[in-house]
Amino acid sequence: MVIDLATRFEPKIVGFLCRWCAYTGADLAGLSRINYPPNITPIRVNCSGRVDPTLVLKALATGADGVLIAGCHPGDCHYINGNAKTIRRFKLLQRLLQQFGIEKERVRLEWVSASEGGRYARIVESMTEEIRSLGPLNWKKEMAIAA
C-alpha cells in the first residue's frame, strides 16, 4: 500500500507536560535523538494536577485534534498528590468529552518519568496514529456553525 504523504492527515496534538517528569522525558527523547512524529506541541506545566479540564477543552476548541496530559508516575509527583488530582479530573473530563460528542481517545493521560524518553516517543507515536485514524476533530468549525 502506498501512502500519499502530501495529502495524509497530520493531527495537531497539544501536550500538557509536567515540568519535573514528562517534559524532562520529552527533552531526553530529543537529546537521545529518538525519532517520533512532530505532531505534538508541548506546553510545560508545573504539575499535571494544574491542567484544568477547561484548558483541554480550549485546546480542542481552538484547533487541536487531540490532547496529551502527561505527568510523573503515581507516587512521584513533586507536589505529593497533584497527579492523584489529575486522575480524578481526567474521569470528569472524559464525561465532558462524551457529552460534547468527542471521542475519548482524543485525550490521553499518561505517566512519563524524566528518564523515559523512549516511552514518551512511543506515546506520541501511538497517539498520532490513533488520532490520524479518527480523522480531524473540526470542533472549532462545528462550534462556529452552532454559534
Would you say 22 or 131 has its CB closer to ligand FES? Answer: 22
Among 12, 44, 78, 122, binds ligand FES (CB under 6 A): 78
For residue 108, the minimal CB distance to ligand FES (Å) is: 15
With CA atoms as reference, report the closest residue to 63 among 113, 104, 23, 12: 12
Helix axes 53-61, 139-146, angle to 10 degrees: 90
- Please state, in angstroms and as integers, the Cα–Cα distance from residue 71 to each residue in 46, 75, 86, following that order: 9, 11, 9
Question: Which residue lies nearer to ligand FES by CB, 115 or 138?
Answer: 115
Q: Which is nearer to ligand FES, 15 or 82 (CB)?
A: 82
What's at 55, amino acid-wise? Answer: L
Q: Is 49 in the site for ligand FES (CB under 6 A)?
A: yes
To which residue does cell 488520532 refer?
131
Q: Which residues lie near ligand FES (CB under 6 A)?
A: 18, 20-21, 47-49, 71-72, 77-79, 82-83
